[in-house]
């Protein structure tokens, strides 16, 4: 859906003929031709903490990213207390969306999907904000339900699914919520397991024989920002971390995999979020982030715990100045780490596959798959 162009003032006024003059021939209709179809796709993910965009071109069974944008906007700042998006957070977000609109126009993108998640699902004034965005930028933002957010996160991780995975948990730790999807792949031929995840692009229900089967899924209304806000009054750093991890684990009491006592063989967890990639980059000692080294990395529980203990030993001030964490994430890394540690405690595997991909990639895959522009072929 393309940004709506502003209507030219007076464009629809009736033509007024001067008295006594002969009727004039109708003026030829001259409208600007639509921009050429560049074959590019755009995806915008407007979350509780960040505004992110990708512009990409289909390339074989995947896509090539041509442009991207990411900005911390803290759209959900103050939402926990007031139930509304603040004027300041909306202003920051609209400024970021103007940059997205400029890039979309520059590349001549005509196929796009722009979505908002937990902050807009919860805010009382979200609809007013969406109308303001459309009025000021021309962009149409869609507030998607939690199940759609979970589905798109799953699709984005298809290339990282191992052929020996029989049970799969995909975790997307966001700013305002955390989505978990448990998928049974035991009935899928090993060579078709990554591709079978892409077939979930039509939804979580109605899979046929030989397809990936969604056993259970949950959207927990706790992400890095909302969990941090819950325990903002706890002064001790280590105590706050322990409480956050316990609180998140309690919120999963009714999620079936949390009760599973199955063996570790054949289980895979894929974690997608800024928290997961930051922990991975810290483990690798990267002072400058390198997606090629992080995406697809497999970490053990012990390696994850080692990084988290290091974060705790640094304290708030040390984390603020640690180049591996970054200034945009230092206040949120411990709430994210608390979620991650809780997940590794309750799921029967001691390894995590790191995914530097998420909602934007899922949006792109889903659009391209629906248009039939992705070639059949192996992901890995």
Helices 301-321/274-284 angle, 10° precision: 90
Give the pLDDT of residue 26.
42
Spatial separation of the C-alpha atoms in residues 242 and 224, rounded to whole Å: 14
Read off the DSSP letter of residue 16: -
Specify the fold of 147-361: Nucleotidyltransferase; domain 5 (3.30.420)
Edge-to-edge strands, sheet with 351-355: 213-220, 178-184, 167-173, 267-272, 351-355, 298-300
Distance CA 102, CA 116 (A): 19
pLDDT at 210: 65
- With contact defined as beta carbons under 8 Å apart, do 196 and 185 qualify? yes
The residue ranges of DSSP E strands in 174-241, in sequence order, are 178-184, 213-220
SS (H, E, C) 68-127: EEEEECCCCCCHHHHCCCCHHHHHHHHHHHHHHHHHHHHHCCCEEEEEECHHHHHCCCHH
Six-digit token pair at 202? 């039509």
**Phi, psi angle pair for 377, to nearest 5°:** 165, 170
Query: In terms of DSSP H, where are the helices of 268-323?
Result: 274-284, 291-294, 301-321
Ordered by start, the domain boundaries in the chain are 41-144, 147-361
**In whole angstroms, what is the distance from residue 215 CA to residue 169 CA?**
10
> For the chain, how are helix, strand and coil distributed in percent, rounded to 5?
40, 20, 40
Considering the entire predicted model, what is its pTM?
0.80
Structure tokens belonging to residue 260? 């599973």
Q: In which element (H, E) is residue 198 found?
A: helix 193-198
The backbone region for 324, taken as left when phi is positive above 0, alpha when psi lies in -120 to 50, beta otherwise, is alpha
Listed as ranges, residues in the chain with pLDDT below 70 are: 1-37, 201-210, 256-264, 376-380
Q: Could you report the per-residue pLDDT of 207-243, keeping only the tens digit for each?
A: 555 688 888 889 999 999 999 999 989 999 999 999 9
Give dist(CA 33, CA 202) in Å, integer: 34
Give pLDDT, residue 13.
33
User: What are residue 235's phi and psi, to 5 degrees?
Assistant: -80, -35
pLDDT tens-digit readout, 256-289 = 665 555 556 788 999 998 899 999 999 999 988 8
Distance separating alpha carbons of residues 287 and 303, to the nearest angstrom: 18
Which superfamily is assigned to 41-144 in CATH?
ATPase, nucleotide binding domain (3.30.420.40)
Short-list 82, 122, 363, 109, CA closest to 222: 122
Beta strands 298-300; 351-355: pairing state: antiparallel
- Report pLDDT for 31: 47
- Do the domains 41-144 and 147-361 sit in the same CATH topology, yes or no? yes
Token digits of residue 94: 């609209």
């Amino acid at each position: 859906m393309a940004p709506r162009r502003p209507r030219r003032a007076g464009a629809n006024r009736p033509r007024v003929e001067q008295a006594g003059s002969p009727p004039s021939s109708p003026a030829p209709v001259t409208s600007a031709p639509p921009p050429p179809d560049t074959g590019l796709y755009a995806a915008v993910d407007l979350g509780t903490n960040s505004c992110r965009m990708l512009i990409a071109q289909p390339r074989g069974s995947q896509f090539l990213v041509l442009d991207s944008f990411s900005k911390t906007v803290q759209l959900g700042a103050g939402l926990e207390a007031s139930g509304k998006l603040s004027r300041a957070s909306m202003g920051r977000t609209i400024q970021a969306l103007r940059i997205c609109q400029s890039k979309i126009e520059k590349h001549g993108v005509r196929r796009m999907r722009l979505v908002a998640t937990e902050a807009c699902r919860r805010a009382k004034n979200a609809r007013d904000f969406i109308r303001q965005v459309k009025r000021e930028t021309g962009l149409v933002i869609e507030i998607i339900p939690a199940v759609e957010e979970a589905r798109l996160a799953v699709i984005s991780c298809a290339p990282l699914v191992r052929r020996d995975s029989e049970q799969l948990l995909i975790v997307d730790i966001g700013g305002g919520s955390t989505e978990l999807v448990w998928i049974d792949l035991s009935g899928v031929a090993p060579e078709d397991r990554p591709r079978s995840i892409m077939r979930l692009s039509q939804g979580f229900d109605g899979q046929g024989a030989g397809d990936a089967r969604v056993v259970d899924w949950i959207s927990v209304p706790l992400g890095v920002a909302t969990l941090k806000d819950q325990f903002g009054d706890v002064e001790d750093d280590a105590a706050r971390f322990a409480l956050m991890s316990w609180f998140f684990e309690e919120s999963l009491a009714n999620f079936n995999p949390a009760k599973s006592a199955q063996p570790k063989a054949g289980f895979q967890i894929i974690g997608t979020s800024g928290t997961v990639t930051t922990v991975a980059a810290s483990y690798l000692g990267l002072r400058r982030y390198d997606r090629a080294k992080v995406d697809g990395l497999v970490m053990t529980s012990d390696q994850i715990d080692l990084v988290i203990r290091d974060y705790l030993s640094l304290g708030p001030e040390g984390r603020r100045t640690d180049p591996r964490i970054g200034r945009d994430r230092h206040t949120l890394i411990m709430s994210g780490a608390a979620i991650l540690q809780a997940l590794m405690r309750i799921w029967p595997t001691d390894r995590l596959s790191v995914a530097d991909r998420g909602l934007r990639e899922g949006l792109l895959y889903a659009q391209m798959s629906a248009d039939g522009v992705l070639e059949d072929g192996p992901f890995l």
